[in-house]
Amino acid sequence: MSIDTQPTSCPPPRVQLSGITKRYPGTLANDRIELTLEPGEIRALLGENGAGKSTLMKIIYGVTAPDEGEIRWNGRPVVIRDPAQARRLGIGMVFQHFSLFETLTVAENIALALGPEAHPRRLVSRIREVSQRYGMPLEPDRLVHSLSIGERQRVEIVRCLMQDIQLLILDEPTSVLTPQEAEDLFVTLRQLAADGCSILFISHKLGEVRALCSTATVLRAGCVAGHCIPAQCSDLELARLMVGDAEGLEGSYPKAHGGAVFLNVSQLSWRNPDPFGTSLVDLSLEVRAGEIMGIAGVAGNGQDELLALLAGEIRLPPQESARICIASEPVAHLSPEARRRCGQAFVPAERLGHGAVPDMSLADNALLTGFQQGLLQHGLIKHDKVMAFANDIIRRFSVKTPDAQAIASSLSGGNLQKFILGREILQQPKLLIAAHPTWGVDVGAAAAIHRALIGLREAGAAILVISEDLDELFQICDRIAALSNGRLTTPVEVAHTHPIEVGRWMAGQFDISHSAA
Amino acid sequence: MDIDLLTNVFYAMVRTGTPLLLVALGEMVCEKSGVLNLGQEGMMLFGAVIGFMVAFSTGHLWLGVLLAMLAGILLSLLFALVAVHLNANQVACGLALTIFGVGLSSFVGASWVGKPLEGFSPIAIPLLSQIPGIGKMLFAQDALVYLSFVLFALVAWIVLRSRIGLIIQAVGENPNAASAMGLSVLRVRTLAVMFGGAMAGLAGGYLSLAYTPMWAENMTAGRGWIALALVVFASWRVFRVLLGAYLFGLASILHLVAQGIGVTLPANLMAMLPYVATIVVLVLLSRDTIRTRLYAPVSLGQPWKAGH
């Protein structure tokens, strides 16, 4: 870690942005942004999706060039032409969309980032040491494609920690960590800051921002909406700065008890053929009509496998078809399409590539799962109906997009998620399975998504939410269980438990016999 | 089958497989970086004719080899300019390059057809070349075959062990991430395309200076296309490329063996055999889809532009 040891009493700011402006066709992504980071400062960058945070980070990291404005690095004006130069200056970045190579091992990925003198095999022990020290265990020889989302994020963070950095930019690093892991990460980040490294921390979790960051800059519609000291602001005040109007942000919903059991999973076991994957062990759960059941857990504990089994992407042999029942009908052997005909809808964890096809228009994406809504006739597509359906989603779920012909990948994460969720909800499913519904989504969109889920519950649907965000689960779920290493705890009513207890379950501290009941 | 026949079969197998090995190694590296260059056949032919002309006029075989490689690089640079830097469609550019190379080589070499040349002759390494069975195959070849052994070892080491190999694989899998890490995607891809061009030129030079020391139109006889298929079916793995190339070599000479032991099959069937056998074996090897996916360069054939 390089530390500024300037003899002067007042060292120059680590980085100083002035008048940064960036235009994209049709939008002003950054409008005369002013931002200063002192050495050792941990500053939060807050703002809704589309507020210009990503663009600003890309400018600092040299991915895109600003149209106007100046960047001063340690007092000297610099032009950051590309990420390589940013890294030479000492800028590290952890991306929200991971920048890892799936066909390479953890050690090879890290070696690539570290420069010519780093050899994967010589790095192994250092990777183990750094990852253990910071509470992010990693197996250096594993191939990245076999890692869960959470583990991949650890690789990204450890990769940055192993470089000589003076400024670390983190884009929502805690969205895949347990509360305890996030706290461990904060210890690491505070240590880094104490060593003189400046940190720019992007998060939607205001509680974390308050716990970690000494200062915050809020962006709104490409402009700096204000600076504040998070510890002295309430959630509502921060949210108001971000959104401009805080209506409907206070999310507190009455709990429901639900009616008849709609989805029944009984003693589901599944052996994962991938030696690095998680196998499910004796997993039982019920979701009743008119309730939201939540499953907490850190990524890589069997969520992906459970979701694939519930969605029908992994099918069981016919003799085991009763392991999963929808309305008492065995479905575990059925295809995703057949399960949709049983009234099931599915919102996968990955928006681009799983929930939506990135290069297709919103209308075409609407057709993908909405084909049972009278959009087809004799095998031909009725384009006017498809457009009407897509426009209905866009209108009712306030999706910010030019029109239904916009391609999916051009939307911000939150907007696309609203669209995907809207597409499923408008089909009036009797059972909705949603994975990480608000991952990387801003407060405004998250509140809208929560309201939509509650609305669907009130309409009598059974809802299963799998999420790593405990606050979210406690906010919207009626019952909750935790998934740890392929085993599920006995679901309990949210009113009768506490995040700390569920956090313990997530870490695997629960009685197995108790769980198999 | 007696041991002498076997010795000669192995020897001819390697000789026949060598041009395919060279061009396939080059294309493999090129594809690993994410660039699909269908111009192998054209680059080979241009290398063959330039190599032959230079060696014939100057009397220096090695100068011919060098110029053959440069000729391949020259054509590959044309491809790199259009398909890598200007983001044109790689498939279309590659096809155009082959058509261009075939025509250009015929045009340039029109007056050189059928001229005799004293090509590379075998160099037997004392003692080692006397080993029954494999001695002649490994130790009584001409200099370019020895060079192909060295190049194979070099490519294997680069791809499997070196940082350069990691960089090529990273660029081929996720150019955006590679660029974000500070790797120059365009430079890596250009160099990989140039390497492919050099290897194709060398393979062409081997044909016109060693394998059959003369120039004839279309003398590559589709080896550039076979190499392309070989790389895919070998799932971009270097040892499988070697296996496939020699397998092709073996199947190509089987009709000689068949005649030798008194079996007669229709000539057309025999001419098909190398292509069919190579593809069947490699398809069988690449059935494991998960592993194949692991080795396939994800961004293959997709143009990439910086800064978005």
Q: Binning pLDDT at 50, 70 and 90, where does residue A247 land?
A: low
Which CATH code for domain A261-343+431-515?
3.40.50.300
pLDDT tens digit string along A471-484? 889 889 999 999 98
Q: Is A15 on the interface with B (CB under 8 A)?
A: no
Band the pLDDT of B31: cuts 50, 70, 90.
Answer: very high
Residue B235 has pLDDT above 90, yes or no: no
> What ipTM goes with this model?
0.79
Give the DSSP letter string of A358-410: TTSBHHHHHHHHHTTTT-EETTEE-HHHHHHHHHHHHHHTT---S-TTSBGGG
Is the model's pLDDT at A76 over the cut of 50? yes
A84 CA: distance to closest CA in chain B (Å): 4
Mean pLDDT of A367-387: 87
Q: What domain range includes position B44?
A: 3-113+133-295
Chain B interface includes A145 (CB < 8 A): yes
CB-nearest partner of A101 from B177, B295, B307:
B177
Q: pLDDT grade, residue A97 (50/70/90)?
A: low
B123 in a structural domain: no
Cα–Cα distances in angstroms (integers) from residue B193 to residues A74, B19, B23, B224, B239, in the given order:
41, 18, 12, 15, 21
Q: Which residues in chain A are contacts of B181 at CB distance < 8 A?
A: 83-84, 87, 99, 112-113
Q: Is the pLDDT of residue A129 over 90?
A: no
Say if the Cβ atoms of A145 and B163 lie within 8 Å: no
Sign for the CA dihedral angle at A155, A158, A164, A169 comes to: positive
Per-residue confidence (pLDDT) for residue A9, from 0 to 100: 57
- Nearest beta carbon to residue B163 from set A63, A95, A116: A116
How would DSSP label each residue in A410-457? GS-HHHHHHHHHHHHHTT--SEEEEESTTTT--HHHHHHHHHHHHHHH
- pTM recorded for the entire structure: 0.71
pLDDT in the model for residue B199: 97
Q: How confident is the model at residue A15 (pLDDT cuts 50, 70, 90)?
A: very high
Average pLDDT of the residues in A495-513: 79
C-alpha dihedral (B283, B286, B289, B290), degrees to nearest 10: 180
Is residue B140 situated within a structural domain? yes
List of chain B residues whose C-beta atoms are within 8 Å of the C-beta of residue A87: 181-182
Percent of chain B at pLDDT > 90 equals 63
Q: Which two tokens stand for residue B129?
A: 């070349």
B239-275 CB burial, b ≥16 within 10 A, e <16: ebbbbbbbbbbbbbbbbebeeeeeeeeeeeebeebbb
Mean pLDDT over A284-289 rounds to 93
For residue B306, list chain A residues with Cβ-Cβ distance below 8 A. 82
Mutate to test the interface with B, among A93, A101, A143 (most CBs of B within 10 A): A101
Per-residue tokens: B65:
């080899």
Q: Is B109's pLDDT higher than 90?
A: yes
Lowest mean pLDDT among A276-280, A403-407, B183-187: A276-280
Kindly tell me if the per-residue pLDDT of B308 is higher than 60: no
Q: Domain for residue B308, yes or no? A: no
Inter-chain touch B180–A99, beta carbons under 8 Å: yes
B145 within domain boundaries: yes
CATH 3.40.50.300 domain residues, chain A: 15-90+164-243, 261-343+431-515
At A1, is the pLDDT very low, low, confident or very high (cuts 50, 70, 90)?
very low
CATH of domain A15-90+164-243: 3.40.50.300
The string of DSSP codes covering A267-285 is EEEE--SSTTSPPEEEEEE
On the question of pLDDT at B1 being above 70, the answer is no
Give me the residue from A85, A95, A103 closest to B169, CB to CB: A103
Confidence of residue A3 (pLDDT cuts 50, 70, 90): very low
> What type of residue is A131?
S
The partner residue sitting opposite B180, judged by closest CB among A83, A85, A116, is A83
Least-confidence region, from A456-470, B146-160, B243-257: B243-257
How confident is the model at residue A513, as a pLDDT?
Answer: 47
Query: Quick one: what percent of chain B has pLDDT higher than 70?
Result: 97
C-beta of residue B201 within 8 angstroms of C-beta of residue B51: yes
Specify if B121 maps to a domain: no
What tens digit of pLDDT does each residue of B174-231 get?
898 888 777 889 999 999 999 999 999 999 999 999 999 999 999 998 899 989 988 9
Kindly state the percentage of chain A with pLDDT values over 90. 34
In the predicted structure, residue A516 carries a pLDDT above the cut 50: no
CA distance A272 to chain B (A): 14
Residue A514: pLDDT band by 50, 70, 90 thresholds?
A: very low
Inter-chain CB proximity A112 and B307 less than 8 Å: no
- The confidence score (pLDDT) of residue A441 equals 75
Q: Do B182 and A82 touch (CB under 8 A)?
A: yes
Do A83 and B181 make contact, defined as CB atoms within 8 angstroms? yes
What per-residue confidence (pLDDT) applies to A7? 47
CA nearest to B75, candidates B49, B110, B108, B101: B101
Residue B304 lies in a domain: no
CB B149 within 8 A of CB B160: no
Instruction: Tell me: pLDDT of B173 over 80.
Output: yes
Phi, psi angles (nearest 5°) of residue B286:
-100, 25
Q: Which of B159, B176, B167 is nearest to B25 (CA)?
A: B159
Q: Over pLDDT 70: what percentage of chain A?
A: 92
pLDDT interval class at A26 (50, 70, 90):
low
Report if residue B120 sits inside a domain. no
CATH of residue B7's domain is 1.10.3470
Number of Cβ pairs closer than 8 Å across A and B? 65
- Chain A closest-CA separation from residue B180 CA (Å): 5
Q: What is the count of structural domains for chain B?
A: 1
pLDDT number for residue A67: 92
Please give the pLDDT value at position B280: 83
Tokens of A88: 């030479």
d(CA A102, CA A80): 28
Residue B32 C-alpha, separation from nearest chain A C-alpha, in angstroms: 12
What confidence score (pLDDT) does residue A5 get?
Answer: 46
pLDDT at B39: 95
Average pLDDT over residues A120-136: 81
pLDDT digits (tens, 9 = 90+) for B52-83: 999 999 999 999 999 999 999 999 999 999 99
Q: Using the beta-carbon criterion (under 8 Å), do B180 and A102 form an inter-chain contact? A: no
For A27-36, A127-136, A239-248, B122-131, which range has the lowest pLDDT when averaged over its residues?
Answer: A239-248
